[in-house]
Amino acid sequence: MKKPNQQFRFIRTLLLSSALLIGLLIQSALANDKVQIDIRYQQATSTAEQQQIEQWLQGLVDSVAHALGRFPLDRVQFTVSKTTGAREPIPWAEIKRGRVEGIRFTVDLRHGEKALQTNWTGYHEIAHLMIPYPGYQDIWLSEGLASYYQQMLRIGSGQLSEQQGWQALYNGFVRGSKDNRNDHLSLQRLSPKLHQTRSFMRVYWSGAAFYLELEALLQQQGDAGLLRRIRAYNDCCRYSGMRVSGEQLIKAIAADRDDVKALYRDHQQRRRLNLPIKTLAYFGVTINDGKVSLNKDEEYRMRRQRLYQIESQWE
């Protein structure tokens, strides 16, 4: 897999306001692409801490650029708060949509550099920015994308082995399949009630299963895959802060494919997550006693490779 050719220019600005904010602008110039990364620290943050945070955030942006060939936005803004005593390196995060899109993170740096860089939350959040916000009615589509790509981006950027990434995806499907308290509600009806019902596992991992099934459907028809379609959509139609419904998004990324629209409607009506065993097998992923094993034959390896990076980026 080819790493994007990168040069970074760091511009540090110290903004003295009522709350001391250190704004850091990183210009990341990829081969055909520029993305401005703006980092705001909510507390005094030492140079060593800043370096650790910068490297991590740069890695998140790069993982998306690596998958799509370019980061989908010209500018992204991160706000970072520090905490201590959290059980994980990123105890809280929230997407910020608006004129400049970005992410608010709370981090506990005491878990160390490696734990921060491999943690799923960072990749989950950055994956949200791969598409515009589809709104709460279609939250499964957005959370599904983030849950699916939190694994694929980590494999593609080398933070997880393929084995670890697929195991994490499968474990997610298992958690989703066990969350069947609200099986009187279709995914479409459950989505807007997500916070009342707390059916997070079903909604998130049902969405992830949709994307995996979508990839299989596309590849079976000789299509280059979802990353290529997301890239094309972002190149033609994306601007910061835009909002599209799930229906519009699916139409936009698969205008030519009635089978994709049919798959989307089928998933909307599902009342529980059934483990997508057949779809996993299409990608050479089989399960024994809850453990995944990967078929390393070229045919299967290539099918999986298309999920990590668009083909034109391959070496």
Q: Which residue is nearest to Zn ion (CB)?
A: 146
One-letter identity of residue 194: L
Binding site for Zn ion (CB under 5 A): 143, 146
Alpha-carbon gap, residue 83 to 174, rounded angstroms? 31
Query: Which residue, 30 or 146, is less far from Zn ion as judged by CB?
Result: 146
CB–CB of 202/190 below 8 Å? yes
Nearest distance, CB of residue 39 and Zn ion, angstroms: 21
Best CA proximity match to 40, nearest among 59, 62, 72, 17: 17
Query: Which residue, 138 or 143, is less far from Zn ion as judged by CB?
Result: 143
CB–CB of 211/127 below 8 Å? no
Query: Which residue, 92 or 300, is less far from Zn ion as judged by CB?
Result: 92
Nearest distance, CB of residue 52 and Zn ion, angstroms: 24
Query: Which residue, 208 or 217, is less far from Zn ion as judged by CB?
Result: 208
Nearest distance, CB of residue 200 and Zn ion, angstroms: 9
Alpha-carbon gap, residue 67 to 1, rounded angstroms? 10
Query: Which residue, 131 or 155, is less far from Zn ion as judged by CB?
Result: 131
Could you give the residue ranges of the DSSP H alpha helices within 191-270? 194-197, 200-220, 226-237, 246-253, 258-268
Query: Which residue, 80 or 217, is less far from Zn ion as judged by CB?
Result: 80
Pairing of strands 33-41, 21-30: antiparallel
Nearest distance, CB of residue 295 and Zn ion, angstroms: 31
Nearest distance, CB of residue 146 and Zn ion, angstroms: 4
Q: What angle do CA 161, 164, 169 make, to 5 degrees?
A: 125
Nearest distance, CB of residue 171 and Zn ion, angstroms: 17
CB–CB of 137/111 below 8 Å? no
Could you give the residue ranges of the DSSP H alpha helices within the chain? 47-68, 113-118, 120-128, 139-156, 162-178, 187-190, 194-197, 200-220, 226-237, 246-253, 258-268, 277-282, 298-308
